[in-house]
């Protein structure tokens, strides 16, 4: 009887693959196969041990096609949209992963970074690590979220402008100020100035100040005009440190190298982007 259940689930999985589907829920499979939850879990566990199935969240399953058997899972882009719909949470793929998707990266991105309206634990999916970062105002930045086609459907990613702002908003997830400068050197030319100004109002003035300084430093100053005008309409902002992480260690805090009066940014070390 157990063998029959396992074979039935294997057949169900094979059928989904032949239809181009890569995900299903436990409830869907139980209804399709006419089995109870316990019987389904037994059969699913056997397929997981055979590396044919992955469960990144309880009740949500990802099929592992033969070509990805050695990876342990297909790329997260194949199932991230379905996973977040299962979680019933808005999201977008962002930060360094979004920059990579926009063609701006000088090194392999080690994490598949997702911005979510819910705090979620990381997921280890085969060779991939899906890292979630919380943003409570996610729905307000909808104008900066794009739909990107994938091999199995679509997923949501941040626009070049929103990606740039997020790199300064989440510095620890962005690899530090030098890496941010490296990414912005390529990403800058893809940014829409008006969109950047509109989204910067939601990011907070210090984020806009740091980004404005870096964009000018990297030769993309022609794109920052609308953002700076919007910032000035709100009055002169307080001075802010370019590198917040560096400024948090007062014992080793270097003397300022530059005071950028246009953006009111204190620069203690000039970022060094990779060439």
Of the candidates 81, 94, 89, the residue with the CA atom closest to the CA atom of residue 117: 89
Q: How confident is the model at residue 256 (pLDDT cuts 50, 70, 90)?
A: confident
Confidence of residue 1 (pLDDT cuts 50, 70, 90): very low
CA quadruple 222, 226, 228, 231: dihedral, nearest 10: -170
- Cα–Cα distance measured from residue 155 to residue 107, given in angstroms and rounded to the nearest whole number: 23
pTM: 0.92
Of 226, 236, 229, 230, which is closest to residue 265 (Cα–Cα)?
Answer: 236
pLDDT 10s digits, 70-125 = 999 999 999 999 999 999 999 999 999 999 999 987 777 889 999 999 999 999 99
């Amino acid at each position: 009887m157990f063998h029959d259940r396992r074979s039935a689930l294997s057949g169900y999985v094979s059928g989904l693959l032949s239809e181009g589907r890569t995900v299903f829920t436990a409830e869907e499979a139980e209804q399709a196969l006419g089995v109870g939850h316990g019987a389904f879990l037994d059969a699913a566990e056997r397929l997981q041990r055979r590396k044919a199935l992955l469960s990144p969240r309880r009740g949500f399953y990802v099929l592992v096609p033969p070509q990805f058997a050695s990876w342990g899972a297909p790329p997260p882009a194949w199932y991230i949209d379905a996973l977040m719909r299962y979680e019933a949470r808005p999201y977008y793929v962002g930060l360094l992963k979004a920059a990579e998707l926009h063609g701006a990266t000088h090194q392999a991105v080690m994490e598949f970074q997702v911005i979510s309206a819910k705090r979620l634990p990381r997921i280890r999916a085969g060779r991939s690590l899906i890292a979630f970062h919380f943003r409570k105002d996610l729905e307000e930045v909808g104008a900066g979220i794009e739909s990107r086609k994938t091999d199995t459907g679509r997923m949501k990613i941040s626009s070049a402008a929103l990606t740039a702002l997020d790199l300064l908003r989440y510095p620890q997830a962005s690899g530090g100020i030098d890496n941010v400068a490296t990414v912005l050197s390529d990403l800058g030319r893809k940014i829409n100035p008006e969109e950047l100004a509109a989204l910067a109002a939601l990011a907070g003035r210090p984020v806009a100040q740091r980004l404005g300084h870096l964009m000018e430093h990297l030769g993309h100053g022609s794109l920052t005009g609308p953002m700076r005008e919007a910032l000035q309409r709100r009055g002169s902002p307080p001075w802010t440190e370019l590198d917040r992480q560096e400024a948090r260690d007062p014992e080793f805090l270097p003397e300022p190298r530059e005071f950028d009066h246009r953006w009111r940014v204190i620069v203690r070390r000039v970022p060094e982007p990779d060439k």
